[in-house]
Amino acid sequence: MPFQTDRTMMIPQALRGLLLLAALLFAAPLVRADAYEAKLPAELNTAPRLCDYVPCAEVLPGATIFSERKGRPFYVEGYVEEGNGRRLAGYVMLSTDITDIPAYSGKPVVTLIGMDANGRFTGSRILKHSEPILLLGIPESALVRFNQQYLGKFVGDNIEIGQSRPEEDIIGLDAISGATVTVIAQNQVMMSSGAAVARQVGILERTMRPQARLLETGATPDWATLATEGSVKKLTVAPEQVGLPRAAQPFIELWYGYLNQPDVGRAVLGEAGWQNLLARLKPGEHAIFVIRSDGKESFKGSGFVRGGLYDRVQVRQGQDAFTFRDLDYLNLYGLAAAGAPRFDESAIFIIRSDAFSAAYPWKFTFLGNRVDRETGTRSFANFDSEYWLPAHYLDGGRPEVKKPAPPWLRVWQTRRYEIAAFAALLIAVAVVYARRDRLTRAATRNNKWPVNGFKYSFWLISIGFVGFHLMAQPSITQVLTWFHALLFQWRWELFLTDPFIFLFWIFIVATVFLWGRGLFCGWLCPFGSLSELLYKTGGWVGLKRFQFKLPKVWHHRLKWVKYGVFGGLLAVSVFSMGLAEMLAEVEPFKTTFLVGLFNRSWPYTLFAASLLGLSIFTERPFCKYLCPLGASLAMPTTFRWFGLKRKSECSSCKACAVGCGSQAIDEHGRIDQRECLHCLDCMVLYTDDHACPPLVHERKRRGKAGLPLTPIGANGYYIPIKPVPAAATANAATANAASGIAPQS
């Protein structure tokens, strides 16, 4: 059976070819994504000898001896061997020992950071990240290069993403185009990790705050009053917050409060207890109490040994962290306040630092571990609650506190002019489209510039300013991220960090419900604009004879593909957001605008270039048949409020349908709003009495009958001429004569 044998041989060959092509497509970018979801040693987060598991010498060059983890938060000391002795070279820290700031993916970028003994960064190494953009969109080396910008910079400098502003003493770092959220988070990780260790080891001075002048009112509030006024606060950690199954009992429930304040101290400890405490406190020392009222987890920690640190609780004020050793601990046997909760673990901790001031807000922090329910890996997590002594216990009340602006706000502030320009663009597009009737009436089939002048201008702005400059190309990945954020964890900061995308989506949502997806897709999408501009340019430069539309039957088959792509991505995202983001490379947006056609591996460049090349010959092939973003917007477009106008004659006339570039008008003259891209060509014809057949017919009829041409009404027809009865005319003339009004000559 040679024939059969040949066929069976052919199939594996074809499969091999496909697999090879797939491998080429995906392998090139993946080989550089070493740290994406890298499997880290289980001991990494707990082992005393951190440097046995990670390359500490790489981030602290010259150091050959490394200590065990020490301090709180943890760090490692690195030493250089010199003769018989050794010299402190600097410090190495694991970012997740210090902060749990999430990046774009919602997970932290695990970074090993080196800092010399003078507080200058000496190196960093990304051990693990979950950023999809760095898996496929942007090479991981971009993040490595970003981190290299910290080399030699002092940990106490004001380092921000963006341009340097010497007048404000701010050092700017170059961002990674298209990964703004990731680098803003990474900057926070680098700076907060470095600062936390630098403060512990004395490189950075603690902020000195004026001490509180406490007022004594003589009152003895009960527990409920203390809780209501905020003198005692509760911190509850639920099991699910640390990755454990949900349960009725909290993981831990703690109450805490500031004892130096006389009224609070007396109420909580009783007169004798408070006096006893005061006798133990030296000037500049502060006491807080902590009790566990529920839960089984110990806040003192089971691993605590004499001389060590209480590693599960901490007080933070501003950038300063205050930890407790055994000498900072006093027993607390009971609470005097009426109505105080029962407790089974208690402590009084002493803060021995002038830098702490009860006049300013501070945070009580419970330091724990969160177990990832999918992978079982543990990561550092902290849970805190803010405490600020009530104003009536402070002489002069609470001082004014300026909280540092969050990173997203800094982005909005530093890019305010671009944001204003972008917002103006969005408003201009909406206003122009809202007044489309006026524009389409001014245009004719042979002169569409009253409409196209605006549209082409918006395309150019969209491509140049929005696409290449702002890189604000909306993407299906944002839809997936929003969908997941809505269900799982909504973080406003994540969306606010990119102001252009944020504003764009407000525009998109509003206009989709008003007019349908066509306004965004047809007038403002950078890739769509580029695609159609190429098509128009192709026509203008003499390629019109090569330009084509797909036959209707094929168009109506292929238009469903984009819905399939969208549905597939949505389904995949439920199981793996990372995989969905990889597959979202079906959008050539990153290649075109974010990374650049010549900065990506060739399969992506080839794909994007092919689509753009095809766009010269057929109008918007990607938008019509592949775009998952377009599909996701087309679905709610079904319920858009205001559609385009039609006449009853449109059911038999094909004038608009023939010229419809998006092939959205069917054989009955009906417009499929999901496919319409609002080119407005049909609306130009609608009121053109030399192009719209019903109007042409009426114009000719009136011309032959010697009737005047009245204006075209909102319904697309000439306003009808209604003859006034002769009797009525005579009556009117009589009335005019009686009132002395002379007829016009």
Partner 1 sequence: MVDPRMLTEPVQPPYAAEGGGLRRLAAELWDHLWPWSRSGFRHPRTQLRALQGAGLALALAVSVVWVLAAAGRLEAGAVIGWWFGWSVFEVIVRLGAKPYVKEGPWWGRRYRAASLMDMLCYVGFKNLLMGAALFLALKSFGLLVV
* Interface contacts to partner 1, rule CB under 8 A: 238, 240, 245-246, 486-489, 563, 574, 635-636, 638-639, 641-643, 645-648, 650-651, 668-674
CA dihedral 39, 45, 46, 51 (to 10 degrees): 80
Q: How far apart are CA 730 and CA 732, in angstroms?
A: 5
Length of the chain: 745
Token code pair at residue 487: 């269900």
Residue in the structure block whose two tokens are 């009580």: 364
Helix (H) or strand (E) holding 16: helix 2-30
CB of 635 to partner 1, least distance (A): 4
Question: Least distance from C-beta 324 to partner 1, angstroms?
Answer: 31
Query: Taking the complex as a whole, how short is the minimal distance between the CB of residue 377 and partner 1, in angstroms?
Result: 18
- The distance of closest approach from Cβ of residue 638 to partner 1 in the complex, given in angstroms and rounded to an integer, is 4
**Are the C-beta atoms of 340 and 356 separated by less than 8 Å?**
no
Q: How far is the CB of 440 from partner 1 (least distance, A)?
A: 17
Q: Do the beta carbons of residue 312 and residue 298 sit within 8 Å?
A: yes
The H-or-E segment that residue 150 falls in is none
- The residue assigned the tokens 């990790």 is 193
Nearest to 192 by CA among 82, 83, 73: 73
User: In angstroms, what is the minimal distance from the CB of 673 to partner 1?
Assistant: 7
**Cβ distance to partner 1 smaller for residue 172 or 659:** 659
Q: Which is nearer to partner 1, 174 or 240 (CB)?
A: 240
CB 525 to partner 1: min, Å: 20
Select from 584, 592, 580, 573 the least CA-distant residue to 526: 592
**CB nearer to partner 1: pick between 563 and 617:** 563
| DSSP tag of 467 | I
Nearer of residues 418 and 672 to partner 1, judged by Cβ: 672
58 vs 672, beta carbon nearer partner 1: 672
Alpha helices in 202-329 (DSSP H): 223-229, 262-280
- By beta-carbon proximity to partner 1, the closer residue of 580 and 650 is 650
Nearer to partner 1, 287 or 644 (CB): 644
Complex with partner 1: residue 36 or 566, whichever CB lies closer: 566
d(CA 561, CA 625): 6
3-state DSSP call for residue 296?
A: coil
Instruction: Report the nearest approach of partner 1 to the CB of residue 571 (Å).
Output: 9
Question: What's the CA gap between 200 and 316, in Å, rounded?
Answer: 13
Ramachandran angles phi, psi of 77, nearest 5°: -90, 140
Main-chain dihedrals φ then ψ at residue 87, nearest 5 degrees: -125, 140
Supply the minimum distance, in Å, between the C-beta of residue 649 and partner 1. 8
- Cis omega before residue 108 (within 30°)? no
Map tokens 């004719």 to a residue.
Answer: 444
Q: How far apart are CA 366 and CA 291, in angstroms?
A: 12
Q: Which is nearer to partner 1, 137 or 669 (CB)?
A: 669
331 within 8 A of 343, measured Cβ to Cβ: no
Task: Between 602 and 639, name the residue whose CB sits nearer to partner 1.
Answer: 639
> Closest separation between CB of residue 506 and partner 1, Å?
18
Q: How far is the CB of 516 from partner 1 (least distance, A)?
A: 11
Report strand pairing: 170-173 vs 158-161: parallel
Q: Which is nearer to partner 1, 88 or 561 (CB)?
A: 561
